[in-house]
Structures are given as C-alpha cells and as structure tokens.
Structure 1
C-alpha cells in the first residue's frame, strides 16, 4: 500500500452526507467520492489544489450520496463507478430515496463497475474496493493508505440503517466484522456522515457491532 493520500471533506446536501476528494500528492490525479449535492466547494477545491478528477466514486446508491454526480460529471468529464448491486438504485428515485424529498435523482448506468478486491488507481496511489453489503446490496468501502472511506457502512459509534430497500442488518454486521474489523487498528475510518473514527475504537466501543 502506498504511503500518502491527500483528502478533503465536506458535508453536503440537506442530509449532510460527507463528500470526499482524494488525490495522489505527486500527480494530483483525484477522485470525488459521494458527491451528494452540487456544492461549489467541490469544484473550488479541485481548481485551487490543482487536481485532475479522473473518477467519481460511489460508496452506494442512495440519493443523499449521488445528488451531485451529474453536476460533477458536467464540469470534470469524469466517469462514474459503483458496484453493480447498486445500479438499480441509481436509476430509480423510489429505491434511492430521493423521491421522498421532492428532488428525484435518476442517473444513467455508471461507466465502471466496482468489484471486491478491485483497485482504483489515482496516479501513484490506489484505493482497494471492499464490498460491504448490508446498508445496500452494492455498498462498498474504499481502502487507502492508513484509511478507509466507509460510506454508510460504519459510523463513529453506529452503523448504517438497514430498513431501506435492499438493507439487511445481519449482512451489514457481517460485512463490518469480516471486511473492516480485520484492518489495522489505527486505520482511520472516514464515514458517509459524521466525524472520523478508527477501527480500534469501533471494535471496542461500537454498540451495534460487538466482537467477542
């Protein structure tokens, strides 16, 4: 695993979903992860930091994480990547939840499909794809050097809800235990909502994913 990944974060949209920009420090090749709304901060950061966006990465297909996808694609030209299990959510506002808030989001199929163990190359660094279903069927996390972008799989002191279409509590807990809790304890977890945490803290204190 490479040593450094640049990272910027802002909570965007009405549900305050964390949007991340990650980049290779030398080549400035970047990805925008979960652009939940067309927030000017995203474009301003890309331009002020001299970044070149080559991917729009989705941890899952819920409306609060995809509402800015077409906007980012419009000025960056970057292709979209998500897991095939969540492609139906991208297409259908009733499945991705955006229909409930009066601003339905329906996206075309992504240009790239993410699979367990795949790599997203950003210049001289890369992200490993971890398929973590449970919050949604195609939920994924992106593991980088010393960190994991966890989407709505794991939060500080909580986990993603499983009462939406395609959610399953037992599957989500298994994903966390088998894919995330095996990472080094000092791995920083950057979730889809709220503050960062660590794998060590979540293994010790998260009441939803107790480990024996």
Structure 2
C-alpha cells in the first residue's frame, strides 16, 4: 500500500520508507490518536512518538518493526496522548523523553526533559526538538532532515492541516503564543517541502498550509 497518511483506529499501520528511516503510523482509541514508530534502517533502533492508548497494539507495532523499542517521546501532556505511556515504557524498557514544562503532568517522570533547540538521537537518526508552546506549556515537535534535504516534522497537536491546535480548554493555553511559535519556529525554520505528521488525522505539507497563516491569525484559532 502506498503511503498517504490516512489511518483509522482498528486498522493497520501505514508504512513510509525513506532513505535511512522507516515511519509507521497507527491510529488508536475513540479519539483517533496517531502513534508513530520511527525505525533507523541502518541500526534497527526505534523511537515511538506518543504512546496514546492501547498498549498491546503499540507493542505489536514495535514488533512490526525490529521488535525492540529504544525510546518514547511524548509530544505534549494531554491525557489522550499518554494513556499507554507507563505500560509501554514498562514492557519495553524504553528511555522516555518529554518537553520540560509538560514533564510533571505525565503519568510517569520522563528519563530526559527536552527544550527548544535540543536534539534526540536513536541509532543513526537525530531529531531536532522544536518547542511549540500554547496548546500546552511544554509541547514539542520533532524534526528529521532526510538525506535529500527535506524535513519530516512530527507536530503533536500544535499544527494540523487547516490550523493550529485548540487553545480554549485550559487556562494555560494561549492562541497568540501558539500561532507565534508555529509561524516562527516551524514555518520560519523549515521550507515548503516539509511534510508534517500531526497528533490526529491526516498529514500535511508546509507548502499547502503556508498561504493560510494570515487567515488563521485573523480568525483567532
């Protein structure tokens, strides 16, 4: 099956083969959370982004890769993205990572906290940590630059096709902070070839979204 980024809970993972990295995308739970398994093709090392729910299915996904899990990165603190975190970490022994200002709200203390500008390495793959505040105080995106120079960006709930994440449910949320970080740290840092993978739903590209940034800011969501 050709990769198009469309997955549904209960359905199979989609697999994208890149030069040096394999991406598996899976949807879990009634909230259709996206879970991503990244596999370094040269070493077999693996990193999971968001152990959202259904630990048994996530462990199956790990075995659809190389069978071992080296690291789990949590994009942000919200409950629907962390329901399986403790169980998957315990079962796999993976090292855990999260943004510094979300770390205390997680069901387990992460082994490492991440700040904007940090990097996270597993196998031969290095991801750039992008702090994206506003949806949560310590939300992070993770960026990988492929050998051809294109970027693959995992944005959690900070950026979706059609707009930024929600900012009206909690006192700590801020639309102004989120749109500023998305504009400056994502659209200002990465080119239009960038393919992004959000926390729910379909993928997108910066090329298709960039023309709408002004509209998003004007409407306030």
TM-score by length of 1: 0.85
1:184 and 2:191 are equivalent in the alignment: yes
Contact 2:55 2:87 in 1 (8 A): no
Distance 1:112 1:179 in 2: 22
Distance 2:199 2:174 in 1: 18
Aligned length: 193
1:11 and 2:27 are equivalent in the alignment: yes
- Deviations along 1:99-136, whole A, 9 cap, x unmatched? xxxxxxxx132111011111111111111100010100
4+ runs deviating over 3 angstroms? none
Distance 1:133 1:55 in 2: 23
Contact 1:35 1:69 in 2 (8 A): yes
Over 3 Å counting, the alpha-carbon distance change for 1:172 and 1:70 in structure 2 is same
**SS at structure 2 position matched to 1:161:** coil
Q: Which runs of 5+ in 1 are unaligned?
A: 91-106
Q: Which runs of 5+ in 2 are unaligned?
A: 1-17, 146-150
Distance 2:193 2:217 in 1: 18
Out of 156, 159, 176, the residue aligned to residue 154 of structure 1 is 159
TM-score by length of 2: 0.82
Over 3 Å counting, the alpha-carbon distance change for 1:70 and 1:176 in structure 2 is same
Distance 2:200 2:57 in 1: 17
1:201 and 2:217 are equivalent in the alignment: no
In the TM superposition, what is the alpha-carbon distance from 1:54 to its structure 2 partner?
A: 1.1
> Mapping of 1:1-212 within 5 angstroms?
4-90=20-106, 107-145=107-145, 146-165=151-170, 166-182=172-188, 183-205=190-212, 207-209=215-217
Contact 1:203 1:209 in 2 (8 A): no
Contact 1:148 1:190 in 2 (8 A): yes
Distance 1:109 1:178 in 2: 30
The alignment's C-alpha RMSD in Å is 1.7
